[in-house]
Amino acid sequence: MKINIYYGGRGIVGDPTLFVLSRMQSVLEELNVQVERINLYDEKRKITALPSTLNDADGAIFGTTVEWLGIGGYMTEFLDACWFYGNKEKMNGIYMMPVVMSTTFGEREGLLSLQSAWDMLGGKLCNGLSAYVRDPVAFELNQEYIKLIEKAAENLYRVISRRTITLPASNQAVTQMVGSSEPIDLTPQETEQLSKYASDDNYVQKQKEDIRELTDHFRTLLKNDGKSEDVVIGEAFRNHFVPQTNFEAVYQFIIKGLDKPMILEIHDDVLNISYEKRNEQTVLCKLTQEKLDQITKGEISFQNAFMSGEMQVKGDFRMLRMLDTVFTFQNTRKPEPEYV
């Protein structure tokens, strides 16, 4: 027989739940029960992987302390993980005893919360323990209380040994009818990896950023009839290119929102557009994609963007002034209405 003990408190000195769980563990070990103790505060970065530890257990003790309101975050997070990642078929055969001690008030409400959660998960319930503890030292020295705790552990052992039948509960029926969460079939290694990634804030943030970039990318493709943003920008420059006699220049545009810089290489009437980073260029321009869109739509000129500080420039400023001559985006501006 194997029984897992899950402690959801903060592990502070004088926590009465720690005393109760230790006494119960001693009794169970004397009965030759294999006991595994899991402190959730020690495993807080791997809580999403802990439901898999229930798979080989015959019984479980969920112990927590009400310090100001409710059963606490660690136990709540563990129960959430059981719902989303746990194997509910395995849980159906596991007997759970809730243990809730309170140093303020609400121990019975906490006990009910654990019972209701385990019902929803489909497991079997044993009678639990709850108490209000004002003086932890007096509580631990009270022999009558110790006898009640040890008797509760013995009763748990008997219930599991006899596989005592429990009456059906409405929570389980509701779960079968409306429960939409399917168990995720993962190996222990995959579950551990899932826990590592789910608890890594940097990894989660990077995934969110990647999702946003993909969303923006596909939104751009839809807006541009399947063309990527760099292709659309390149076509705009090519369509408004005005060749100049005896004119050569290399413009490098670093555009926020595009992965690579855009290179415009001009030799008289030839315009070459590429996407690469170069160490040498005639003019280097830095601006946002939104500002470049305004320029290619003819709403503002390159010179205006530079003068307003919305485009940073480095290099030959005489060649900068030529941008509005070589590329006539201003011609695309809608004429202003005439007033009579």
pLDDT at 337 over 70: no
pLDDT at 195 over 70: no
- Hey, what are 276's tokens? 């690469």
> What's the chain's average pLDDT?
85
Number of structural domains the chain divides into: 2
* Position 218 in a domain: no
Do 100 and 114 meet the contact criterion of CB atoms below 8 Å apart? yes
Same domain, 80 and 175: yes
Same domain, 35 and 93: yes
d(CA 48, CA 42): 13
Quote the DSSP letter at residue 182. P
The pLDDT assigned to 176 comes to 59
Which band of pLDDT confidence, cut at 50, 70 and 90, is reported for residue 248?
A: very high
The residue with greater pLDDT, 19 or 330, is: 19
* Position 275 in a domain: yes
List of residues 6+ apart from 20 with CB closer than 8 A:
63, 99, 101, 129, 149
Q: What is the pTM of this model?
A: 0.55
Rg for the chain, CA atoms, rounded: 34
In this predicted model, what pLDDT tens digit does every residue of 67-111 receive, in sequence order?
A: 998 999 999 999 999 998 999 889 989 999 999 999 999 999 999
In this predicted model, what pLDDT tens digit does every residue of 52-64 receive, in sequence order?
A: 999 999 999 999 9
pLDDT at 171 over 80: no
* Position 261 in a domain: yes
Tell me the residue length of the chain: 340
Handedness of CA 4, 7, 13, 17 (dihedral sign): negative
- The domain spanning residue 164 has which CATH number? 3.40.50.360
d(CA 256, CA 213): 13
Same domain, 183 and 233: no
Mean pLDDT computed over 151-170 = 88
d(CA 86, CA 55): 9
pLDDT at 174 over 90: no
Percent with pLDDT over 90 in the chain: 54
* Position 159 in a domain: yes
Do 57 and 182 meet the contact criterion of CB atoms below 8 Å apart? no
Mean pLDDT computed over 181-208 = 63
In this predicted model, what pLDDT tens digit does every residue of 208-231 receive, in sequence order?
A: 777 776 666 555 545 545 455 667
Domain boundary among 187, 214, 245: 187
Percent with pLDDT over 70 in the chain: 81
The residue with greater pLDDT, 301 or 188, is: 301
Mean pLDDT computed over 250-272 = 89
d(CA 90, CA 189): 19
pLDDT at 181 over 60: no
Same domain, 180 and 233: no
Tell me the β-bridge partners of 267. Answer: 248, 270
Give the number of C-alpha atoms closer than 13 A to the C-alpha of residue 267, restricted to the C-beta side.
3
Mean pLDDT computed over 266-291 = 90
- Hey, what are 311's tokens? 């485009």
The pLDDT assigned to 333 comes to 47
Report CA 205 to chain centroid distance, whole Å: 7
Q: 279 is in which domain, residue-wise?
A: 229-332
256 residue type, one letter = K
pLDDT at 331 over 90: no
Same domain, 179 and 243: no
- The domain spanning residue 301 has which CATH number? 3.30.1050.10
The pLDDT assigned to 123 comes to 92
* Position 85 in a domain: yes
Same domain, 127 and 251: no
Taking the chain, what is the end-to-end CA distance rounded to the nearest angstrom? 97
Quote the DSSP letter at residue 258. S
Handedness of CA 160, 161, 163, 164 (dihedral sign): negative
